[in-house]
């Protein structure tokens, strides 16, 4: 085949000399001596569905951080703040506008991921340029002038849209590097550490004109729950944006009280609101109180107070001064804006969302909503309440809280029983919990299974090697626990089994589940755990697609995906609750000693739960996690306890009830295994039991 001739790119159209000179003149224009805040009104912003000129008076607290982009004293600017504070507008868009129109330079804007960078470029930047005539006129249209990840402008500004990977943070010289939503960046960039020092390194070739700017709401956890501030503006020890703030000038925003002229920080703890009503009603009544004179500041005064506000930074010894009087030698000008000062976040919304998150925590023990409210609405790093509680989670503390409930019996007001099974080398570990109203529960039994069904050959169980060994778990579905003071006992509502462990455990677990599906419909569940704070607490899922190898055969086997760290947070709080009530987890004083030790076998670190040094067994804690995950997927949290389903009722009419001493009185249950025939309803004894010291649970 004849090779096609080389096709060169077409030459640009012929132009006259005067047009060529006119095109080149912007590149020769000297740098304009104007600030970032002075050029910002030349660009547009979308507000209420319309594009209007940027107004520096809407979020005036962003003017000082933005203007420091051209500082020759500092090499970086860091801004910590809540959502709806215009932090990205003031520290990303406005400096970019300044670089395009006033002081052309190479600019790189980093988003947390490639997808986020593309979305910002296409969804935000392109719209900004299209609706800002001054910027649109400067954008080059030729080859390489307007791409998704790179844009060139007349006058010499060149912009790249990047994400934090090693190749984009190495061997490049950039005059202005900007990072948006910094706390969503990876913790480690290709083994070279966090992104901020690498970003600053890229600006060194520009000398004192180089600048790095980062902004974010705080997302990293507080590392020391016992921390106390040593200086007025010190932040808690955190990684990410708060850590950068702490190493900088530590600027805080101050309002001036209209009544007494006293300076104060407009923080969330200075907001007051009604004690009664829904979160929305209480938020609607929010107002701020001056800490000096007690004067009431209403929400409508926010814009006026922001216009008169000032940033004060921290000198040695704790003295607070304006940035131009700062004597402390730091390279980063850092700022921290409190949530109530955010220009576009009404106090009613801030208060209502925090109160809603508090309600969620109270009802479920889950901290995800509360952490998000602190990070996003208040602009604060979050101290895990479970982590604080976990510090007190010791075996001795649990023994002090132990109940006097009889071992291997259900309290009189038990609604249902769960059995959780952990798979260990050579044994199954079983824990039984009796549940009452509002998720209050008690551990009533704990034992190990070592011998397979039959057991004639003296062999020990091997759950990873022998699928038939799992049959030893089948009787657990019908094991009866007597109800204290009643003539009946209760069989488990369901059995949940861990499906993870040594090679062979998972396929054997699935084989067992398939066998039990036909014999004990809806009574056996498998579970697998996942760590991290950003996973669901519990969800019963089927595998979505066929995976590698033979795993495609498991698409018929559902499993509970369990958020282990989140549920351990809840269990720690439940164990350490000192009074009976919703979600309290009790341990009988008659429980084996190892149960208390195993519940206290782990501690909460900044990245999740981890074993305490020297501790090897944690089965009690894990088994309670499985039981709680089971209750969640069975939607026990949503039960109307005034009208519960039959299997959650008290007394012998419960389909899982068995009359004691008459095990042959059985009928076929269409929803599961054999259950006892209905018996005359007996009056149930009230109360879960007696705590040490004689008080009611």
Alpha-carbon gap, residue 11 to 142, rounded angstroms: 12
Separation CA 91–CA 123 (nearest Å): 18
- Angstrom distances, CA of residue 663 to CA of 479, 519, 658, 666, 677: 11, 19, 7, 7, 10
| Residue 54: count of CB within 10 angstroms of its CB | 22
State the Cα–Cα distance between residues 576 and 578, nearest whole angstrom.
Answer: 6
Under 8 Å between Cβ of 330 and 249: yes
The structure tokens listed for 324 are 């131009």
Phi-psi region of 439 (alpha: psi -120 to 50; beta: other; left: phi over 0): left
pLDDT score recorded for residue 264: 98
Give the pLDDT of residue 226: 76
The answer to whether the CB of 297 falls within 8 A of the CB of 305 is yes
The number of C-alpha atoms within 13 Å of 116 and in the hemisphere containing its C-beta is 14
Are 432 and 421 a contacting pair, CB within 8 Å?
Answer: no
Cα–Cα dist 273/278, whole Å:
11
CA–CA distance from 72 to each of 97, 211, 280, 646 (Å)?
19, 9, 47, 74
- The C-alpha angle with vertex 207 and arms to 204 and 213, in degrees rounded to 5, equals 65
Residue 306 DSSP code: H
- β-pairing, 488-490 with 657-659? antiparallel
Q: Which residues of the chain have pLDDT under 50?
A: 546-548, 663-687, 690-697
User: Model's pTM, two decimal places?
Assistant: 0.72
Q: How far apart are CA 173 and CA 175, in angstroms?
A: 7
pLDDT value at position 454?
80
All domains in the chain, ordered by first residue:
37-253+321-346 (3.40.50.300), 395-646 (3.30.420)
Gap between the Cα atoms of 482 and 409, Å rounded: 5
In whole angstroms, give the CA distance from residue 687 to residue 697. Answer: 7
Residue 695 has a pLDDT of 28
């Amino acid at each position: 085949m004849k090779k096609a001739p080389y096709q060169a790119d077409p030459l640009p159209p012929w132009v006259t000399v005067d047009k060529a000179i006119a095109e080149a003149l912007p590149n020769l224009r000297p740098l304009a001596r104007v600030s970032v805040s002075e050029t910002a009104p030349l660009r547009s912003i979308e507000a209420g569905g319309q594009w209007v000129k940027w107004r520096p008076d809407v979020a005036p607290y962003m003017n000082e951080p933005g203007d420091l982009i051209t500082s020759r004293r500092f090499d970086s600017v860091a801004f910590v703040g809540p959502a709806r504070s215009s932090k990205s507008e003031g520290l990303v868009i406005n400096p970019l506008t300044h670089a395009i129109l006033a002081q052309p330079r190479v600019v790189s804007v980093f988003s947390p991921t490639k997808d986020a960078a593309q979305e910002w470029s296409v969804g935000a930047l392109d719209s900004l340029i299209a609706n800002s005539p001054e910027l649109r006129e400067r954008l080059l249209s030729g080859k390489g002038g307007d791409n998704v990840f790179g844009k060139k402008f007349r006058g010499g500004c060149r912009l790249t849209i990047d994400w934090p990977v090693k190749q984009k943070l190495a061997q490049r010289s950039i005059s202005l590097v900007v990072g948006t939503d910094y706390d969503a960046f990876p913790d480690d960039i290709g083994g070279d550490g966090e992104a901020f020092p690498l970003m600053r390194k890229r600006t060194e070739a520009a000398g004192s004109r180089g600048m790095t700017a980062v902004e974010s709401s705080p997302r990293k956890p507080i590392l020391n729950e016992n921390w106390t501030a040593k200086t007025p503006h010190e932040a808690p020890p955190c990684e990410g944006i708060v850590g950068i703030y702490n190493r900088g000038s530590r600027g805080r925003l101050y309002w001036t009280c209209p009544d007494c002229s006293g300076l104060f920080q407009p923080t969330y703890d200075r907001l007051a609101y009604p004690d009664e009503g829904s979160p929305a009603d209480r938020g609607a009544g929010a107002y701020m109180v001056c800490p000096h004179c007690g004067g009431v500041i209403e929400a409508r005064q926010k814009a006026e107070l922001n216009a008169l506000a000032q940033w004060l930074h921290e000198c040695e010894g704790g003295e607070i001064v304006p940035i131009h009087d700062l004597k402390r030698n730091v390279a980063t000008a850092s700022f921290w804006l409190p949530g109530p000062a955010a220009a576009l976040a009404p106090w009613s919304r801030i208060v209502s969302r925090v109160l809603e998150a508090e309600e969620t925590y109270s009802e479920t023990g889950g901290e995800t909503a509360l952490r998000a409210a602190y990070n996003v609405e208040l602009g604060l790093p979050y101290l895990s309440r479970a982590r604080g509680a976990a510090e007190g989670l010791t075996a001795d503390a649990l023994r002090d809280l132990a109940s006097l409930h009889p071992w291997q019996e259900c309290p009189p007001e038990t609604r249902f029983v769960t059995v959780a099974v952990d798979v260990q080398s050579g044994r199954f570990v079983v824990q039984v919990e009796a549940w009452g109203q509002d998720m209050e529960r008690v551990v009533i039994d704990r034992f190990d299974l070592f011998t397979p069904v039959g057991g004639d050959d003296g062999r020990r169980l091997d759950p990873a090697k022998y699928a038939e060994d799992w049959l030893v778990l089948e009787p657990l579905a019908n094991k009866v626990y007597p109800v204290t003071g009643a003539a009946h006992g209760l069989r488990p509502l369901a059995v949940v089994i861990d499906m993870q462990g040594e090679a062979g455990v998972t396929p054997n677990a699935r084989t067992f589940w398939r066998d039990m599906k036909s014999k004990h419909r809806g009574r056996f569940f498998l579970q697998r755990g996942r760590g991290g704070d950003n996973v669901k607490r519990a969800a019963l899922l089927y595998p979505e697609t066929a995976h590698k190898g033979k795993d495609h055969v498991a698409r018929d086997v559902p499993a509970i995906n369990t958020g282990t760290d989140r549920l351990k947070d809840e269990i720690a709080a439940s164990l350490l609750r000192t009074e009976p009530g919703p979600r309290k987890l009790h341990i009988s004083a008659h429980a084996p000693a190892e149960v208390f030790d195993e519940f206290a076998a782990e501690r909460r670190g900044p990245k999740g739960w981890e074993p305490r040094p020297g501790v090897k067994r944690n089965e009690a804690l894990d088994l309670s996690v499985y039981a709680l995950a089971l209750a969640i997927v069975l939607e026990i949290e949503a039960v109307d306890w005034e009208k519960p389903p039959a299997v959650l009722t008290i007394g012998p009419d419960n389909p899982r009830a068995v009359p004691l001493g008459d095990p042959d009185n059985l009928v076929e249950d269409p929803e599961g295994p054999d259950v006892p025939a209905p018996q005359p309803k007996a009056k149930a004894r009230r109360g879960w039991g007696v705590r040490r010291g004689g008080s009611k649970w």
